[in-house]
Amino acid sequence: MSVTSGLPFLKPEHLMPSLTSPGRQRRHTLPASEFRCLTPEDAISVFEIEREAFISVSGDCPLHLDEVRHFLTLCPELSLGWFEEGRLVAFIIGSLWDQEKLTMDAMTLHKPHGSTVHIHVLAVHRTFRQQGKGSILMWRYLQYLRCLPYVRRAVLMCEDFLVPFYQKSGFKVLGPSEITVGPLAFIEMQFPVRGHAFMRRNSGC
């Protein structure tokens, strides 16, 4: 059984108990909403959403297409995509890291024996923004990480204006990141995955 198949918060809606009357059937066969780990075959869809979301704001993408494929090949279990009727509408890509602070190496490396998940990117398709999807996806992702026994914490870096968004998801500011990209500076933030015993007992892990 795959990791995700036993996790109720990743189960597609078409496998959940129906809230509609027994006589009503969907007219299509694709699930209305599905959360699953991404695969290298999703890389182009991922990059198209990411490119539109980031280039207009910062002029560059956190991950280029070859890097997206790289991480979805090495550690697809640390990604999560939100699909609606088969269409990717939002995603998160992460990898493992083995140091307390992020360095430039963390931008391209996956450390299989690390206990820190480096969240590289969270992006939502332009037609689905301002609907709270980013927050929902992040919540599901953090719940998922609690079911991975080797994960101790999640870290990310973001620009100043995004700090309040991630604070609402439970991330705490660590301070300025050592990483800069051209003129851009970042704040490093972390979320403690371990130490939430009550949440784990009730998460279905």
What is the rounded distance in angstroms from the CA atom of residue 116 to the CA atom of residue 47? 24
pLDDT confidence of 53, banded at 50, 70, 90? Answer: confident
pLDDT in tens, 72-86: 999 999 999 999 999
pLDDT beyond 90 at 132: yes
Residue 15 a catalytic site member: no
Residue 42 corresponds to which tokens in the numbers above? 């999703």
Domain spans, the chain: 33-154
pLDDT beyond 50 at 196: no
pLDDT beyond 50 at 14: no
User: Looking at residue 62, what is its pLDDT?
Assistant: 84
- The whole-chain average pLDDT of the chain stands at 84
Residue 148 a catalytic site member: no
pLDDT beyond 60 at 122: yes
Residue 95 a catalytic site member: yes
Point out the catalytic residue in the list 65, 109, 162, 174: 109
Enclosing H/E stretch for 84: strand 79-84
List the single range of 6-10, 16-20, 115-119 with lowest mean pLDDT: 16-20
pLDDT beyond 50 at 175: yes
Point out the catalytic residue in the list 45, 79, 95, 177: 95
Closest CA to 95 of 123, 69, 122, 114: 114
Query: Is the separation of the CB atoms in 16 and 150 below 8 Å?
Result: no
pLDDT beyond 80 at 203: no
pLDDT beyond 60 at 68: yes
Point out the catalytic residue in the list 70, 118, 120, 125: 120
User: Looking at residue 27, what is its pLDDT?
Assistant: 52
Query: Is the separation of the CB atoms in 82 and 88 below 8 Å?
Result: yes
Residue 109 a catalytic site member: yes
Point out the catalytic residue in the list 10, 122, 145, 156: 122
Instruction: Please identify, in words, the CATH class of the domain defined by 33-154.
Output: alpha beta
